Amino acid sequence: MAADDVLLFVNAAITATGQREFHGDAGEQRLSLDFLHAYMLGNHRALYAGVLALDINDHNAVLIIRRLLRTAAEAGPDQRRAEGRLIAGRLALLPPQRVYGLFDALRRDGVNNRRTRALVRDWLRARPDLSLDAVKYRGALKRAMRHTHFSPDPGQEELRAFVFAPRGRTRYATPLFEAWRRAHHEQGALYELPFTVAEGFAARHGIPRAVFLERIAPRMTRLETLRLQGSAQRHASATGRRDALLPTDLGRMPLTRLAAYVLGLPLAERRDRRAELTDALTAAAARTAGAHRGSWGTVAAVLDDSFSSFGSVTKRRRPLAVALACHHLLAALARPGGHTGLWTSGATDALLVRPYGTTPLGHRILDALDTGPARLVIVSDGWDNAPAGLAGEVLRVWRTRLDPEGRTSVVHLNPVYDADGFDVRRLSPTVPTAGIRDAEDLPALVELAQFAEGRTGLPDLIAYLDARAARLTEGTRPAGPGEPTPARKERTP
């Protein structure tokens, strides 16, 4: 039962973000998710903390950390030390805006014990550039410093002055602080600031959007450039340089984000840029596959591009983006020429897929099994409706009658959380189902699926969580309150 509870919670923690889905609203999902967190914390606290070491999404990682710190009195000393290592390791992987939001939530909760203050101070000391944080997140940093009585290290005397009284000095020695000061009255200085900060100054100075985007381009990250392509292209005609803000190397983008970008383009543009986009997706998939490239033998994939893959207005085309990214990643993991991708709509051109039609999963699974693959991967939200239930029946007969020895490994990956069922929808009890948020996590999720298949028990699951926890906390050790932990490499923002 404990193993089943953990696997159910992991699926939710990977897929659920408290936002609207195609078949459910945000309120239902938040209520369902809140129950699961409360249940796991109350019944399986150690396993609940161990989930921080898995590839769960940032939304649920923050919820877990917040609940663990809020209920620290309910854990013993050894358990608190283990949780502290997991929390410190996970904080190092979270985007800074998420962490500052967590610190604000802890402040509102009145959580200000010694261990929490030490965790916050250690995270701040491990930041690669607190001056950048002071410019981008000044309000949040000020609240965190005040709440934890954080004192900057020697040599950062200007940091406290800037955070608490930024207009109190006529000049700063720190270049970023000085650029921020000058940007209030000098347009040229704003182009020395991060994009998100400079954008506000540009609006204040009334700088035309096209001019601003062209000049700030060297300061933008790859993800910021990708996110602003629509805006850039609308205004590029004013400068006469339509290529100025196009990404120069799409192949360096994260695979799932790149797939979402591709799906956001009009079909005509996808056709015109076919070679560029296909090469970028292939390169991103090969980079993600890494050492496992070509090691999976023959792979067949059933990919859901039905109308429900649109997702919702808040998660537009997210399920379809995951399916497209998985299509390219599985092609990289399969041996050369050993990948077969079958879309539920019958589409044969992956670059031009769009949310359309019903979900004839049963028919596509039959087509996939007919190729005799070593692995069958199904990427779908589980709403099999053409006809309803056919996919589950096909999988049942295949596993119990035609392939009881398991020559073909079958796994179902579901990118959509089902609030009513407190889990992702399953196609068949004979096939393991795992939630998926990003295609980059696919190899680890296929590994985790062995536990959902019932072939292993709780001791093996605990050993797996311990191994992942060791990897997460590698390079860290228990630190006394106020003692800084070693800095960790951050995830690309």
Q: What is the pLDDT of residues 406-421, one digit of tens each?
A: 899 999 999 999 888 8
Looking at the structure, do residues 285 and 349 belong to the same domain, yes or no?
yes
How confident is the model over 147-176, as a mean pLDDT? 86
Read off the pLDDT of residues 453-469 as tens digits, 9 standing for 90 and up: 655 567 878 888 888 88
CB of 10 closer than 8 Å to CB of 435: yes
Looking at the structure, do residues 203 and 256 belong to the same domain, yes or no?
no
Six token digits for residue 292:
């496992």
**pLDDT at residue number 237:** 45
How many structural domains are present in the chain? 2
Q: Which residue has the higher pLDDT, 153 or 212?
A: 212
Looking at the structure, do residues 208 and 257 belong to the same domain, yes or no?
no
Q: To the nearest whole percent, how much of the chain has pLDDT over 70? A: 90
Read off the pLDDT of residues 47-58 as tens digits, 9 standing for 90 and up: 999 999 998 999
**pLDDT at residue number 298:** 95
**Rounded to an integer, what distance in angstroms lies between the CA atom of residue 415 and that of residue 317?**
11
Q: Which residue has the higher pLDDT, 113 or 488?
A: 113
Mean pLDDT of the chain: 86
Among 127, 63, 239, which residue's Cα sits nearest to residue 216? 239
DSSP 354: -
Q: To the nearest whole percent, how much of the chain has pLDDT over 90? A: 56
Res. 483: pLDDT tops 50:
no
Q: Which residue has the higher pLDDT, 62 or 248?
A: 62
How confident is the model over 288-306, as a mean pLDDT? 93
Q: Is residue 143 part of a domain?
A: yes
How confident is the model over 179-201, as a mean pLDDT? 92
**pLDDT at residue number 454:** 59
**pLDDT at residue number 486:** 38
Q: Is residue 221 part of a domain?
A: no
What is the band of 482 on the pLDDT scale with cuts at 50, 70, 90?
Answer: very low
Q: Is residue 341 part of a domain?
A: yes
At 364, which amino acid appears?
Answer: R
Looking at the structure, do residues 404 and 265 belong to the same domain, yes or no?
yes
Looking at the structure, do residues 290 and 197 belong to the same domain, yes or no?
no
Q: Is residue 256 part of a domain?
A: yes
**pLDDT at residue number 41:** 95
Which residues does residue 409 pair with via DSSP β-bridges, in sequence order? 375
Looking at the structure, do residues 432 and 338 belong to the same domain, yes or no?
yes
pTM of this prediction?
0.84
**pLDDT at residue number 233:** 55
Res. 487: pLDDT tops 50:
no
Read off the pLDDT of residues 101-139 as tens digits, 9 standing for 90 and up: 999 999 999 998 888 999 999 999 999 889 999 999 999
Looking at the structure, do residues 304 and 201 belong to the same domain, yes or no?
no
Read off the pLDDT of residues 211-250 as tens digits, 9 standing for 90 and up: 888 888 888 877 777 777 655 555 544 444 544 444 456 7
Among 429, 457, 465, which residue's Cα sits nearest to residue 3? 457
**pLDDT at residue number 478:** 38
Question: Under 8 Å CB-to-CB from 284, ≥6 apart: which residues?
Answer: 250, 251, 252, 253, 254, 255, 258, 328
**pLDDT at residue number 253:** 83
**Rounded to an integer, what distance in angstroms lies between the CA atom of residue 314 and that of residue 27?**
13
Q: Is residue 483 part of a domain?
A: no
**pLDDT at residue number 489:** 37
CB of 412 closer than 8 Å to CB of 432: yes
What is the band of 3 on the pLDDT scale with cuts at 50, 70, 90?
Answer: confident
**pLDDT at residue number 288:** 92
What is the band of 492 on the pLDDT scale with cuts at 50, 70, 90?
Answer: very low
What is the band of 385 on the pLDDT scale with cuts at 50, 70, 90?
Answer: confident
**Rounded to an integer, what distance in angstroms lies between the CA atom of residue 107 and that of residue 105?**
5
**pLDDT at residue number 422:** 81
Residue 387, preceding bond cis, omega within 30 degrees?
A: yes
**pLDDT at residue number 96:** 94
DSSP 390: H
- CATH code for the domain in which residue 323 is found: 3.40.50
**pLDDT at residue number 480:** 35
Read off the pLDDT of residues 312-335 as tens digits, 9 standing for 90 and up: 888 889 999 999 999 999 999 999
CB of 102 closer than 8 Å to CB of 62: yes
Q: Is residue 475 part of a domain?
A: no
**pLDDT at residue number 362:** 93
Looking at the structure, do residues 274 and 380 belong to the same domain, yes or no?
yes
Looking at the structure, do residues 24 and 131 belong to the same domain, yes or no?
yes
Q: Is residue 35 part of a domain?
A: yes
Among 259, 250, 238, 199, which residue's Cα sits nearest to residue 438? 259
Looking at the structure, do residues 296 and 402 belong to the same domain, yes or no?
yes
Q: Which residue has the higher pLDDT, 20 or 283?
A: 283
Looking at the structure, do residues 371 and 449 belong to the same domain, yes or no?
yes
Looking at the structure, do residues 159 and 29 belong to the same domain, yes or no?
yes
What is the band of 493 on the pLDDT scale with cuts at 50, 70, 90?
Answer: very low
The domain in which residue 327 lies consists of: 252-455
Res. 181: pLDDT tops 80:
yes
Q: Where are the beta strands (DSSP E) in 270-369?
A: 299-303, 339-343
Most confident of 19-23, 197-201, 240-244: 197-201
Q: Is residue 480 part of a domain?
A: no
